[in-house]
């Protein structure tokens, strides 16, 4: 079943399979897109893969646990860089893809279903700002050299609401289907590439 799972993810990633690691090398016709998904205390606290992609590494940054409410996010500059977070870095069919769960007040514990060694919200002396601990998932799949995830697959969760930050590479004609402030439900499409056929095709 693991092989079938990995093959199903590989089938959607054909253009990016030749890349071993997604050190930032943006394709000429692509640009970076981002989305911030806020999970209020009354929302669902698990998070799922927004696309088929391969997580190649994770970087855990120990930090503050300020509130991530929209009110605070608008007033505290660099909030998502100050707070404790786990940056998951990898690739999808269009190139670089990252998903970062961010801790918040009373929500320092971030759990990953596929990484039992990750420990967040640990008491004690904090390391210097900007430093991180890293894990590489190259042994998770011999086919894809990382942890493959299907679109919609459950990845982990928070102990209460918090925030997910997505940053990803996609063609310039990628468009979000959602508007700022709109509620998002599990399984709802966030956006898609609007490719028009060229006259040469």
Q: What percent of the chain has pLDDT over 90?
A: 47
Does residue 14 carry a pLDDT above 70? Answer: no
67-98 core/surface letters (b: 16 or more CB in 10 A; e: else): bbbeeebeeeeebbebbbbbbbbbbbbbbbbb
Tokens representing residue 61 in the block: 């940054």
* Beta carbons of 121 and 108 less than 8 angstroms apart: yes
pLDDT tens digits along 144-201: 999 999 999 999 998 777 899 999 999 989 999 988 888 988 889 999 887 654 444 4
Residue 96, pLDDT above cutoff 60: yes
Distance in angstroms (rounded) separating the CA atoms of residues 61 and 100: 11
Give pLDDT, residue 127.
85
Q: What single-letter DSSP state applies at residue 6? A: H
pLDDT number for residue 25 = 58
DSSP string, 132-198: -EEEE-TTS-TTTSSEEE-TT-EEEEESS--EEEEEEEEETTEEESS-TT----TT---EEE-PPPP
- Give me the phi and psi of 193, to 5 degrees please: -85, 125
Provide mean pLDDT across the span 125-142: 89
Q: Report the predicted TM-score, pTM, of the whole model to 2 decimal places.
A: 0.86
pLDDT of residue 85 exceeding 60, the answer is yes
Q: Is the pLDDT of residue 70 over 80?
A: yes
Comparing CA positions, the residue from 192, 148, 195, 130 lying closest to residue 7 is 148
**43 vs 121, 126, 161, CA distance in Å?**
21, 30, 6
By mean pLDDT, which of 5-14, 73-82, 95-104 is the weakest? Answer: 5-14
Cβ neighbours of residue 43 closer than 8 Å, sequence gap 6 or more: 161
Six token digits for residue 156: 């982990």
């Amino acid at each position: 079943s693991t092989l079938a799972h990995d093959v199903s993810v590989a089938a959607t990633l054909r253009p990016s399979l030749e890349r071993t690691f997604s050190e930032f090398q943006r394709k000429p016709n692509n640009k970076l897109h981002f989305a911030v998904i806020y999970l209020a205390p009354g929302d669902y606290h698990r998070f799922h893969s927004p696309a088929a992609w391969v997580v190649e590494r994770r970087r855990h940054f120990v930090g503050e646990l300020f509130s991530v409410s929209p009110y605070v996010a608008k007033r505290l500059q660099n909030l998502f860089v100050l707070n404790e977070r786990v940056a998951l870095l990898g690739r999808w069919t269009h190139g670089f893809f990252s998903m970062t769960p961010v801790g918040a007040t009373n929500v320092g514990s971030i759990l990953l279903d596929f990484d039992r060694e990750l420990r967040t919200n640990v008491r004690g002396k904090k390391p210097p700002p900007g430093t991180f601990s890293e894990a590489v998932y190259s042994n998770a799949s011999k086919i894809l050299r990382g942890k493959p995830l299907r679109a919609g697959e459950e990845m982990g969760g928070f102990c209460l609401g918090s925030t997910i930050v997505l940053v990803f590479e996609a063609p310039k004609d990628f468009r979000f289907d959602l508007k700022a402030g709109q509620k998002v439900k599990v399984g709802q499409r966030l956006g898609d590439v609007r490719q028009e056929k060229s006259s040469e095709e």
